[in-house]
Amino acid sequence: MWEDILMKRGGGTITSAAKRLVDQVIDETPRSVNGILDLMYKELERSRDKGLVSGRNLIPTRQELKIYLAKNYNKVRISRTTGKEISGKSNAEMRYFR
């Protein structure tokens, strides 16, 4: 049991439903992970109101989402103070876009 937990067997990746949801909300506008999660929640609420979505594991964890976005989408570092693109890591926030 502990070996499975430590080795993360059977987990660690986002579901196909969550991938489709990410693909729906991400566009050319660079957004932070929190911004993408907010859009995912709004889209999920709209879909649930229409009766189109049911099930579990539709929203991934922040870490799972970061890994998926880094592998599949473009990214840029944006300064938290100026809002402009920078190359360094200090005072920067990673944003993802299509």
Mean pLDDT of 1-17: 62
- Whole-model pTM? 0.80
Environment class of 12 (CB within 10 Å of its CB; exposed 0-12, middle 13-18, buried 19+): exposed
What is the rounded (10 degree) CA torsion for 7, 12, 13, 15? 120
Q: 41-96, pLDDT tens digit by residue? A: 998 888 877 776 666 778 899 999 999 999 999 999 999 888 899 988 788 999 99
Domains of the chain from N-terminus onward:
13-97 (1.10.10)
Spatial distance between the Cα atoms of 19 and 14, rounded to a whole number of angstroms: 7
